[in-house]
Structure 1
Amino acid sequence: MNRRTFVNTGILSVCSVPFLNLSADAFVADQKPAWIVDWIKINEAQLPGFRALKVTDPNHRYFGGYTDHVEIPNPHTTSSFIAKACILMACPESVYYQSADTLKEVEGAAAAMLKFQHTDGTIDLLATNFHSTPDTAFILENMIPAWQFLKKSQTKGAGQSLAYIQTFLKNAGEGLIRGGIHTPNHRWVVSAALVRLHGLFPDKRYLNRIDQWLAEHIDIDPDGQYTEKSTNSYSPIVNRSLITLARGLSKPDLLEPVLKNLEMTLYYVHPNGEVVTEASNRQDKGTIGNMSKYYYCYRYMALKKNNGRMAAMCRLIEQTSTPQELAGYLDYFLEDPTLWQPLPPDTPLPVNYVKAFPYSGLVRIRHGNWDTTLLSNNPGWLTFHKGNAVLQAMRVAASFFGKGQFQSEKIEQNGNKWVLRRHLEGPYYQPLDKDKISPDGNLDKMPRTLRKQSEIQELNTTVTITPTDNGVDVDLNITGTDGVPVSLELIFRPGGTFTGVSPHALQPHAYLFGGQNGSYTSGKDTIHFSSGRIEHKGVQLRGALPAMDAPTVYLTGFTPFKHTIRLS
């Protein structure tokens, strides 16, 4: 979850603005370009959506605060309101500029934030984390800009609100210099919050705590990927945090991992502007997301390094994201007017490549309007995108001793081919030797590892992927024990239509493919697949993963199973 946008999407999409040309305005340091003004108007249109979430009962503990969509008062929605309102009160272009009525709402919300805050300075993420240092740091992404913009606005009577927010910030700082974290990215989010606090209220303890985290070094691998590999959530958060640290500490070397990650991410973009998420080891694994979360980082680096590829990615993000998504980062762009400068000229983005990322366990292949991702240690070992037509995953399983779901520990290159393998064994077990038998017959004392194996069955699966001019050939070879049922799944993104397949009589969203040619169309884009094979209708085999809630095409057979399916 992006904690900057905790409010539900119904509120965040109340305003529709035409496509923004973020590169066209001449840069004048004290004059906002038209696209920034448009972003202000988007935020302005979103503010009334908070009204339905406000706690209005004066006897309620969190009176003046805001609830989530299930009516639980919480600091995240409340801080989101405070930040948005304070930003708008500081913008002369907004109807909320220096608004007394809005200030009154902010004052009540800021008072509620102090009630959400524990005596140790932390707050709770009520869905999971309590007395949470990292979630306090995420909250400061709202509360620090709120204090800065409200002070800048010179709104009459803002003293009490500023005092409430300042108390919250200083209390939070005490929590951040002591509290621990859960995951790698939290180190940099906490550090970024501390450096911003230090900029407002200088305190050597903030810097000492940052030094403790930075002493662990930035967790970026030779591929250019952070530990969590979280392309749709935490990678852009880490990049923003490191930029904040580099600026706040005057340590430009902290921009190097950002640049390295952004360079890598150029190869993680599907033709329709979505980001590859299947290799993530966080909750965004396999989710659908565009590149809007990266926009600030790419624009910052494009201008900082005069980098044409970063600029080209900015322009692609502008075309494939909604204005509402980009406007969610308005505070970053108001805080740093140098970002208003026109982007440098484009250097072409990579759109034709075969590139392996061994530390992330994936291979990316793209040719113009189609791309495929090969994945190790993943039962969904192949995806195929052609515009907005998407094969979300290809999976294969055999009913082999309840463990026949295929995935490969690694991806091997063989010339222009990529190979995935797995070897399985299914043994039987002999009676125990007398000296290994427990007198009380307790099987816990006689584990199966003490027994001799016999009649060992084997299953060897090899998948070979070969790029072609307009797609990939996928060759499957499953051998060893004969007569084992096999089921191959082609799992598509919902919303499209099929040709050349037949609905399964018993399984919802399931289709059988026994002919030579099939297709899946979404909008103007079509994925073609050939050829089919149906030798049985057991599409859900014992030991296989449950079917996904998505339209799925099945091919079935028995071992030895040798088959080629072509995607184009």
Structure 2
Amino acid sequence: MAADTLFEEELRRAVDAEVDSTLASGLDAELTHRQLMARAQLFVAACVWPSSSRSGDPQLIEAAGDCVAALRRRQGPSGLFVGGDNVDSPPDSAFTANDVCDTLHLLRSSGVIETVAGASALADDLDAIADAVEPALLVGGVHTPNHRWEITAALARLHRRRPSAALVARAAEWLAEGIDIAADGVYSERSANYAAYVSNPSLTVIADVFDSAAARDAVIRNLESTLGLIHPDGTVETVHSRRQDQLSRFALSPYLAMYRGYAIRLGRRDFAWAARRAQEQGIVHPASLLVDLLLDPRIGEQLPEATKPEPAGKWDRSALAIDANPQRRLVVFGGTDYPRLRRIRSGLSTNPTFLRLFAGTVVLDSMRLSRDFFGLGPFRAERFTADHLDGVARYRLSETASANYYQPIGPAQRTASGEYALTDDGRFYGSMSFADRRADPVALRTDVDVVVTDDGAAVSIVFDGPDCAWALELSFRGGSFEGVDPQNDGTAILAAGAGSYRNGDDRIIFEADALYRADGPGRYRPGEDYAFLGATDAAMGDRVYLTGRSPGRVTLTLRAENLRA
């Protein structure tokens, strides 16, 4: 198939710029082992690529050699690399080992060893590093789900370098666990970041080296699933993630190599659409993309004709639904891990955002519900149900938050010293032997009903419980408010009726029902999990609040509008 010359030219410019800036920055002593090897890989790839302006340049091999020499000094007695907060880390070392093996493959398959000064010695040094790290990766463990595939990819690349029954057997142990992908195509970490940078690239190498149909199928299913998560602004939905990206926007651009490669391999027009969208955002990691191209030249071929996929979907395991039409795109989420585990931890989904709305250039980035209720933090649904009645999509998100007051401890459990076990109440620890006391619970039930409309949604919230303050927070980006009361802290209050957020001809109108009147301050309360550390997970952006007190109900109607339509 013919080469995609526009793609190649864009990549060439990005690679040339990256090489020039990296050479100019010098060899900083603070560079990590991963950064050192990434630099070496960039220089080697640019040297061996015929389209690079520095093709065949011995200066690049020399610069790569300096990086590799520094890398060898970072390799400890175990063969693992020194540096970072994960000490003696097999998975962190696997990231670098993967780059070592790919760089060796480029050197040996390109002919530069015979034609460029220093290339042979560089290959010998990389071989020595690979030899030293291989025993550690054969026995080393992991501590996150995606690490299994990063380490297995390193085992695959080491096996490609020098076939070994031990490497195959160890890879088989990891693969025997089964790939952690749900029926809806989302990996267990539910993270766009780790899918794009770790799981999909690693499983692709595993599939190619070990001919693993399961690994290849997992990547394809995840890419299919991700199509429905791509928003009009070119980001991939992350509200359901269990990793760091759950509180940030993640661009589609890191998916470029995967979507290009599989679009061409499989003739997938929907993947071609995603690849074009990713490329429109610019090439963010030119060295990595160039290595992918050099190892699999098909990535540089012309894409199939692009076909835009269906713009919506439902991800049952994540309790996530997206409903889209030409006027608006609505996201509803009710799948955090917090109600079940009552913890804020890395590796858990805890984002309290339960709704987003896209309307042209205006975005309601986050709708959250905050309460003054025993410091238990914002509403996070513990139940998520969906149905369609008469063609109308409806979602219910429910939570019952509860805290206890405790009665005197019984005679059999009393101590003369007054010392009792330090136990967890579910909100805090106290020397109270809580489990031995009769508890008087206080509960607040909250039901959020989202009824999808052609131009937005009707959001009804019912509070059933004691008198406490609540604040419904809407955080926007892309425009400015109209019809709200500005506050001294830069936020705003919707006192009654309707307000809007507008950019040019695009706006989102938010209108409360006729009974609503603001009652209380508009502020977000992150809960004691954050507050006792002086921290917060508060949303950013332009924020407006509806406020009130429980029990009771409020209905907010959201309408996306384009004034030119």
The alignment's TM-score, normalised by the length of structure 1, stands at: 0.84
Q: Name the structure 1 match of 2:236.
A: 275
Question: Aligned partners of 1:93 and 1:296: how far apart in 2?
Answer: 18
- Per the TM alignment, residue 322 of structure 1 is displaced from its structure 2 partner at its CA by 1.2
Residue aligning to 1:42:
14
Equivalent residue number for residue 211 of structure 1? 172
Alpha-carbon distance between aligned partners in 2 of 1:324 and 1:443, rounded to the nearest angstrom: 57
Q: Does structure 1 retain, via aligned residues, the 8 Å contact 2:472–2:547?
A: yes
**Hey, what does 1:4 align to over in structure 2?**
none
Mapped to 1, the partners of 2:394 and 2:369 lie a distance apart of: 19
In the superposition, relative to structure 1, how do residues 484 and 123 fare at CA in structure 2: closer, same or farther (>3 Å)? same
Q: Which residue of 2 aligns with 1:7?
A: none
Which of 262, 270, 274 is matched with 1:301 structurally?
Answer: 262
Q: Distance in 2 between matches of 1:104 and 1:421?
A: 61
User: Which residue of the partner structure matches residue 139 of structure 2?
Assistant: 178
Q: Provide structure 1 residue ranges, at least 5 long, that are not aligned to the other structure.
A: 1-25, 56-65
Partner of 2:436: 450
Which of 384, 400, 408 is 1:423 aligned to? 400
- 2:128 aligns with 167
1:194 is displaced (CA, Å) by: 1.8
**Residue matched to 1:20:** none
Q: Report the Cα offset of residue 135 of structure 1.
A: 1.4
Seq. identity, %? 28
Q: Does 1:196 align with 2:152?
A: no
Change (3 A) 1:423 1:108: closer
Match of 2:292? Answer: 332
State the alpha-carbon separation in 2 of the partners of residues 250 and 448 from structure 1: 55
Map of 1:530 onto structure 2: 511
Residues 509 and 549 in structure 1, CA contact (< 8 A), matched pair in contact too = no
Deviation at 1:369, TM superposition (A): 5.1
* Cα 1:205–1:37 shift into 2, 3 Å: farther
Shift of 1:439: 2.5
Cα-to-partner distance string for 1:324-368 (whole Å, 9 max, x where unaligned): 4566411111221222332222333112x4x33221122222223
Instruction: From 486, 505, 520, give the equivalent of 2:501.
Output: 520
**Distance of aligned partners of 1:524 and 1:120 in 2 relative to their CA distance in 1, 3 Å threshold:** farther
Give the alignment partner of residue 386 of structure 1, picking from 359, 382, 396: 359
Matched ranges for 1:403-414 at <5 A:
403=376, 405-414=378-387
Structure 1, residues 128-174: CA drift from partner, whole Å, max 9, x if none?
Answer: 21222111221134322322333423313322222112211222222
Alpha-carbon separation, structure 2, partners of 1:41 and 1:473: 48
Deviations 1:84-106 (A, max 9, x none): 11111112332322222222222
C-alpha RMSD of matched pairs (Å)? 2.5
Q: 1:34 to 1:396 in 2, by over 3 A?
A: closer
Measure, in 1, the Cα distance between the counterparts of 2:149 and 2:409. Answer: 55
Q: Does 1:503 align with 2:523?
A: no
Determine the structure 1 residue equivalent to 2:53: 95
Secondary structure of the structure 2 residue equivalent to 1:527: strand
Per-residue CA deviation, residues 254-308 of structure 1 (Å, 9 max, x unaligned), is 2111111111111111122210011111122122112122222222222222222
The yes-or-no answer on 1:400 pairing with 2:373 is yes
Deviation at 1:412, TM superposition (A): 1.1
Deviations 1:1-50 (A, max 9, x none): xxxxxxxxxxxxxxxxxxxxxxxxx615xxx7342243123111112222
Question: Cα 1:113–1:97, aligned 2, differ >3 Å: closer, same or farther?
Answer: same
What pairs up with 1:311-390 in 2 under 5 angstroms?
311-319=272-280, 321-325=281-285, 328-351=288-311, 353=312, 355-368=313-326, 370-376=328-334, 377=336, 378-390=351-363
Deviates more, 1:180-189 or 1:542-551: 542-551
Equivalents in 1 of 2:402, 2:151: separation in Å? 47
| Paired positions, count | 517
Structure-2 residue corresponding to 1:6: none
* Gapped regions of structure 2 (runs ≥ 5): 337-350, 422-430, 531-535, 560-565
* Amino acid in the other structure paired with 2:484: V
Aligned to 1:143: 100
Structure-2 change in CA distance of 1:430 and 1:323 (3 Å) = closer
The one-letter code of the counterpart of 2:266 is K
2: CA distance between counterparts of 1:424 and 1:104? 62
Of the candidates 510, 535, 558, which is equivalent to residue 549 of structure 2?
558
CA distance in 2, matches of 1:129, 1:431: 46
Segment drifting more, 527-536 vs 159-168 = 527-536
The residue number in structure 1 matching 2:470 is: 486
Q: Assess if the C-alpha contact under 8 Å between 1:246 and 1:252 holds in 2.
A: yes
Instruction: Kindly provide the amino acid, as one letter, of the partner of residue 2 in structure 2.
Output: F
Decide whether the 8 Å contact of 2:272 with 2:306 is kept in 1. Answer: yes
Distance (whole Å) between structure 1 residues aligned to residue 20 and residue 294 of structure 2: 22
Q: Following the alignment from structure 1 to structure 2, what is the Cα–Cα distance between the partners of residues 329 and 524?
A: 38
SS in 2 for 1:98: coil
